[in-house]
Structure 1
Amino acid sequence: MDGLIGKLKLRNLDAYPKINEDFNTRTLSGGAISLVSSVIMAFLFISELRLYLHPVTETKLVVDTSRGEHLRIHFDVTFPTLACSILSLDAMDISGEQHLDVRHDIIKRRLDSVGNVIEVRPDELGAPKIEKPLQRHGGRLEHNETYCGSCYGAESTDDHCCNSCEEVREAYRKKGWTLSNSDMIDQCEREGILQRIKDEEGEGCNIHGFLEVKKVAGNFYFAPGKSFQQSNAHIHDLLDFQKDSFNISHNINRLSFGEYFPGVVNPLDGVRWTQPTPTAMYQYFIKVVPTIYTDVSGHTIQSSQFSATEHFKGGDVDLLQALPGVFFFYDLSPIKVTFTEEHVSFLHFLTNVCAIVGGVFTVSGILDSFIYHGQRAIKKMEIGKFI
């Protein structure tokens, strides 16, 4: 007797009540709902499996506390109507560091009027070696004689030598003089600078490479002429080109701050601009956001993202007041973005699968019950009408 009472009490604790077989009715609507539910569960399971097999990217914003780092700027810019011989690149930053007439890590490609490549050459440093240049004393260089070219009155000391056209220009700049006629300078004539300018008249130029700069605000720009410092002023020498205007129409094929990483979008890639006025200055103002990308294997890429706005100065630009060229002013954000790839844990995947199965099963059961009882109620109403 006690055993029977114990069994009855244990049955009362059953949390899974059994449905009477008389109420276990199979219907056509129930079969359709079951089929649709199975398809939905299979689709959701495949989607969840795909998310599990592929890494997800977690994004965080942190304060950039790095110091003393450098930033590599990659560029590839085409000037369809500006010759390579007159195109120069300068860079400077707010710390006072300047890179004038940058030539290292840069390649120039001469282009004809339709954009075909004529010649590819690095922007070389120094002057070509030509036999028997003019010596400072007026005679030609003799055998075993050390070359010492004249500075044409701009010598700072008695033993000051100017062995290239650029050294003559530099000596004149330090004196505050203007070198108005390069044809009269032996070094410039031997190096063929003016002849090269004439030969490349009507050509275009593609310039690509990279700059290594400090991780502080600064700017770099492409402009005609050679730059120099004089009395704390930044000046471009345009006298040799004998032009009143320069066409700085340009195509930005690529511009990035740092290395490429998956998902990065450089907004200036593919930008094309055509100069509408005889002389112009075009400016890009860039906000750089330092970015760290870590892939699922743990490999880290130090890079940057950026946004850009543009400003154009047209017909009011005077060669004596403003320099024609394409300027890029950049500033760095104090916030750093980190992207981290990681796999979803198996426990998380299993939990999501159980939630999918349970959720679809519950909703389909409610829907099936609603349809079943609705059909029975309609039948009872119809039967009641005939009685």
Structure 2
Amino acid sequence: MVSPTKLKSMDFYRKIPRDLTEASLSGAGLSIVAALIMMLLFGMELSSYLSVNTTTTVVVDKSADGDFLRIDFNISFPALSCEFASVDVSDVLGTNRLNITKTIRKFPIDQHLKTTGGEFHAGFASHHINHGEEIKEEIPDGAVPLVSASFDSFAKHFPILIVNFNAPWCYWSNRLKPSWEKAASIIYHKYNPETDGRVLLGNVDCTEQADLCKRNHIQGYPSIRIFRQGSDLKEDHGHHEHESYYGDRDTDSIVKMVDELVAPIHPVTHTLDLDGISNETLKHLRKAPATGGCRIEGYVRVKKVPGNLVISAHSGAHSFDSSKMNMSHVVTHLSFGRIISPRLLTHMKRLLPYLGLSHDKLDEKAFINQHEFGANVTIEHYLQVVKTEVTTTRTGQEDSLIEEYEYTAHSSIAQTYYLPVAKFHYELSPMQIMITENPKSFSHFITNLCAIIGGVFTVAGILDSIFHNTIRLVKKVELGKNF
């Protein structure tokens, strides 16, 4: 067994009896300065330990979300009706998806971007509309031509006024014309305007009555609108007095639709009983747009190859006057990649210095075509997208904190010979920016802390010794001179 005496011989820190030590004012002052320096250096080392160093590298994209990328957007078009607004996606691999609706929502808005109604729901696909057999021979006009001056008087006089807004140059208007005129003749003899007076079918030529068509927000030809005695604002049990018809366009379907609309109306008093309208007819009727704008929001998933997100007017049974299509828009939000979760948002304050703050480059920006109607102007945006990923090694292994797609944006407004569109051309970089957090280890912090304390203590001791010995030497010299 080792004796206490032998253990004492291993003491690195041998003690000097207190009676043999001497305190001095210079030593006390130097000790205070040393203590303050220790505290200052400790604070600086602690701050350095808590801060995180980063390294930035460029690597091949190794996204966790696979081969597809999500694009979120919220875009308002003051002059594009929800009736025809279409979201299309295409890419260099040949993918071509038209009129995406599953992940898209549309809301009618006015020219000041204010919502004017509930969500717009699309009906049956227009390319399924039955137009009947083509009639080669001339059909006598059966519908009444309507002009701006007389339109309101007709709408107030007849309980139901059904109007075909058309254009002579339009293929679909000409395709409808024989069936429409024939149906109008049948309805005229069946519900004589002078003796019965419950319904009237009319025509409006939008090339001659441009103001009237603009007032009723006609953007596609032909558009069949149903006016119920005067107002497009009043509602009665969910059935609007101003509606659009999207059903089949053959003669029999038009006559059937009119019969069912007229049946609930008493021929003498013209009172309305809505229960008389069948569900088959009601499903082809939707509230007509009270304003000419649309806010489109939602997301699409696209392949990670160069492609286009296109918003335009689209229909399989309507024509559009490209010179009057105005694709001005305001981008409320446009971003690529997954939406940042609330958990990741807690890291955002710390991570913001690492990110380029370009993930929402187009947000809250307006792109306005100054022409009165449109004048065949397409608005294009060229977006170059690159992924930035921030990872950390704090847990001992590499963990991804946040993934974000940033992009640059270049926009242009140009004339086109085709139907104007709003096009977002995106091109993704095959490389990504990898930012890695490299926190200092605790052992490194403790080592530096010990070095600070020991170093300052040692240096202070050396200075104190030099100062003390210098004073003693000076005193000895002075004593030698006196003797």
5+ residue gaps in structure 1? 1-6, 129-146, 155-176, 229-235
In structure 1, the residue matched to 2:337 is 257
Change (3 A) 1:320 1:182: farther
Change (3 A) 1:378 1:99: farther
Matched, 1:362 2:426: no
Aligned letter for 2:224? E
Matched, 1:277 2:370: yes
Q: Contact (CA 8 Å) 1:282, 1:312: kept in 2 or not?
A: yes
Distance in structure 2 (CA, Å) of the matches to 1:153 and 1:300: 63
In structure 2, the residue matched to 1:116 is 114
Distance in structure 2 (CA, Å) of the matches to 1:381 and 1:113: 94
Change (3 A) 1:217 1:366: same
TM-score normalised by the chain length of structure 1 = 0.61
Of residues 409, 412, 415, the one that matches 1:312 is 412
1:250 positional shift: 1.0
Aligned letter for 1:334? P
Distance in structure 2 (CA, Å) of the matches to 1:153 and 1:183: 9
Matched, 1:220 2:309: yes
Describe the SS at the equivalent of 2:117: strand
In structure 2, the residue matched to 1:231 is none
Change (3 A) 1:183 1:381: farther
Distance in structure 1 (CA, Å) of the matches to 2:290 and 2:121: 17
Structure number with bigger Rg: 2
In structure 2, the residue matched to 1:328 is 424
Change (3 A) 1:283 1:32: farther
1:326 positional shift: 2.8
Change (3 A) 1:207 1:17: same
Which moved further from structure 2: 92-101 or 187-196? 187-196
Aligned letter for 1:289? V
Matched, 1:179 2:148: no
In structure 2, the residue matched to 1:351 is 444
Matched, 1:238 2:320: yes
Q: Contact (CA 8 Å) 1:48, 1:353: kept in 2 or not?
A: no
Change (3 A) 1:197 1:327: farther
Distance in structure 1 (CA, Å) of the matches to 2:129 and 2:298: 35
In structure 2, the residue matched to 1:150 is 131
Aligned letter for 2:383? I
Describe the SS at the equivalent of 1:33: helix
In structure 2, the residue matched to 1:211 is 300
Distance in structure 2 (CA, Å) of the matches to 1:299 and 1:311: 37
1:383 positional shift: 11
Q: Contact (CA 8 Å) 1:253, 1:270: kept in 2 or not?
A: yes
Distance in structure 2 (CA, Å) of the matches to 1:71 and 1:299: 21
RMSD: 5.0
Describe the SS at the equivalent of 1:199: coil
Distance in structure 2 (CA, Å) of the matches to 1:78 and 1:180: 29
1:50 positional shift: 4.4
Which moved further from structure 2: 70-79 or 359-368? 359-368
Distance in structure 2 (CA, Å) of the matches to 1:252 and 1:277: 20
In structure 2, the residue matched to 1:35 is 35
Matched, 1:248 2:328: yes
1:210 positional shift: 0.9
Q: Contact (CA 8 Å) 2:54, 2:437: kept in 1 or not?
A: yes
Matched, 1:64 2:53: no
Work out the percentage of aligned pairs sharing the same amino acid: 20
1:86-118 deviations in Å (ceiling 9; x for gaps): 432211000111112222210112223443322
1:218-241 deviations in Å (ceiling 9; x for gaps): 111223x2178xxxxxxx9523xx
Describe the SS at the equivalent of 1:362: helix
In structure 2, the residue matched to 1:167 is none
1:169-190 deviations in Å (ceiling 9; x for gaps): xxxxxxxx94356874769537
Change (3 A) 1:80 1:43: farther
